[in-house]
Amino acid sequence: MRAWHFSENAYPYLPPAETYPSIRVSLPNQIYDPAKGSDLYHRYIDEWLIAEDEGVDIMLNEHHQTATCVDPAAPLVLAILAKLSKKARLLILGNPIANRRQPVRVAEEMAMIDVISRGRLEAGFVRGVPYEILPANSNPVRMNERHWEALDLIVKAWTTHTGPFSWEGRFFHQRAVNIWPRPWQQPHPPIWISTTSPSGAAAVGERGYVQATFLTGFEGTRQVFDGYRRGWQKAGRKGPVPIDRLAYAALVYAAPSEKEARAGAEKLLWYVTSNKVPMHIANPPGYVGIAANLAMIRGAEHPLSGFKKNASVDAAIESGLMFAGTPDQVVKQFQKVYDYVGGFGHLLIMGQAGFLEHDDTVLGIKTFAREVYPRLKQLYPDSTPSRTPAAAPGTAKFVGASAGP
C-alpha cells in the first residue's frame, strides 16, 4: 500500500456562491488576490514537503480557470517539488494531453522533472474534466482518440534514443522529435491514467498502465476496477492484476479525537460542495456519449451530483467517498471499501480542501502517516512500489504487460 498526499492548490476566498453562476471557467479573476494566492502556493508546497517527511508520497494535478485548483501549469509546481523534496515519489495526475497542443513539449517537461528528481517521477495523464474544454478551446469530440495518440507519441519520444523520429498521426504532426533530456527512469517513468468509467478503465487495463479513479465510492470504483481487469485480461495477460496497478482517490482526514476528525472532515467536503458548475459548462457536446446523455435527459443523475445535493460527512463515509475519524475508524472504513472493490495498491489522499487551515491539514497528514498508514501497510503487504521494470530499448513494457502502447 502506498499513500499519496494530494492537494488541489485551492483558492477558497470567494464571495457567496449565490453571487456567481460558476466557480469554474467564467469566474472573474478580479476575485483572486495575488498576495493571498502567493501565500497559498508557499503553504501548499510546505504541506507536500511535510507529507514527504512523514513518509507519504506527493501528488498534484492541473486545472484551468478555476478557484478550486489554481495550478494551471502543474509541471511548474512539480519542478519546484522535484528540487525541494528528497525521497518522495512525485505523481502528477495529470497532464491533460487531449487539451495540450504539443505532446512532445509534455514529454520534455516530464523528462526534465524525472532527471531533476533523480528518477522519482510518476507520470500521470488525464483526459481532463469537461470544464477544461473551454479554457483549452479544445474540441470535446474525439478527445479519447487525441488522448491516446498524444500518449503514444510521448512514450515514443521518451524511448527513442537514436536521433530524430517523425510522427504523422491523425492529430499530431512532428518531423524531427529528439528530446533532451531523456528520462532518468528507463525505459520511461511509470504511467498513470485516471478515468471514472468502466470502458475507459478497460482501455487503460489493456495497456497495463496504472489506473486511478476519483471519488467513485463503493459501486463506481468496483466497476472501474472490473473494467480494468477485463482490459488487462483481454490483452492476453495471465494471472491477476497486480495490486499496484490500481489507485483510489478519496477524501481522507484522520485525527486523534473524533471531534477534531469530524471538524476537519466537514471542511474537506468543500472539495465536493464548492464545485458549482452549470450544465452547459459541465456537459459540452460529445464529452460523454449519446447513451449517457440520453439517460440524463430521461432523468438519470451522476452519483456525485446526487451526493452533492445532501453532502454530509456521514453520507460521504457511507458512500465510500471519504475515510474520516480516529485512526481506528479510518482503518475500518478503508477496509470496507478495499474489500468491496477488490483491492488497490495506492490511496490518493485528498487531504486539503477549502478552509482546512495549515495546522489542521498537517494534523491530518501526521495522524494518517503515524497511526493509519503503518496499519494499512501491515494489513495489505503487497505494497510493491509502482515502478517500470527494465525492458528492451525502444519498447514500453510494464509489470506483467505483454502489449505496449
| Chain residues in the site for other proteins (CB under 8 A) | 25-26, 134, 137, 139-142, 145, 170, 278-281, 284-286, 290-291, 293-294, 297
To the nearest whole angstrom, how small is the minimum distance from the Cβ of residue 200 to other proteins?
A: 18
To the nearest whole angstrom, how small is the minimum distance from the Cβ of residue 111 to other proteins?
A: 29
To the nearest whole angstrom, how small is the minimum distance from the Cβ of residue 147 to other proteins?
A: 14
Q: How many CA atoms lie within 13 A of 345 on its CB side?
A: 16
Choose between 170 and 309: whose C-beta lies nearer to other proteins.
170
Cα 140 → chain centroid: 20
To the nearest whole angstrom, how small is the minimum distance from the Cβ of residue 117 to other proteins?
A: 36
Burial code (b: 16+ CB inside 10 Å, e: under 16) for 330-364 equals bbebbeebbeebbbbbbbbbbbbbbebeeebbbbb
Choose between 24 and 222: whose C-beta lies nearer to other proteins.
24
Choose between 290 and 392: whose C-beta lies nearer to other proteins.
290
Choose between 101 and 259: whose C-beta lies nearer to other proteins.
101
To the nearest whole angstrom, how small is the minimum distance from the Cβ of residue 280 to other proteins?
A: 5
Choose between 284 and 364: whose C-beta lies nearer to other proteins.
284
Choose between 35 and 279: whose C-beta lies nearer to other proteins.
279
Which residue in 236, 240, 246 sits closest to 201, CA to CA?
Answer: 246
To the nearest whole angstrom, how small is the minimum distance from the Cβ of residue 148 to other proteins?
A: 13
Which residue in 192, 188, 162, 190 sits closest to 177, CA to CA?
Answer: 162
Choose between 234 and 280: whose C-beta lies nearer to other proteins.
280
Choose between 297 and 392: whose C-beta lies nearer to other proteins.
297
Choose between 92 and 129: whose C-beta lies nearer to other proteins.
129
To the nearest whole angstrom, how small is the minimum distance from the Cβ of residue 292 to other proteins?
A: 10
User: Going by C-beta distance under 8 Å and a sequence separation of 6 or more, which residues neighbour residue 67?
Assistant: 10, 11, 12, 14, 23, 24, 27, 31, 32, 274
- Residue 122 amino acid letter: E
| Cα–Cα distance for residue pair 284/305, rounded to 1 Å | 16
| Cα–Cα distance for residue pair 50/52, rounded to 1 Å | 5
Choose between 176 and 294: whose C-beta lies nearer to other proteins.
294
Beta bridge partner(s), residue 2: 346
To the nearest whole angstrom, how small is the minimum distance from the Cβ of residue 284 to other proteins?
A: 6
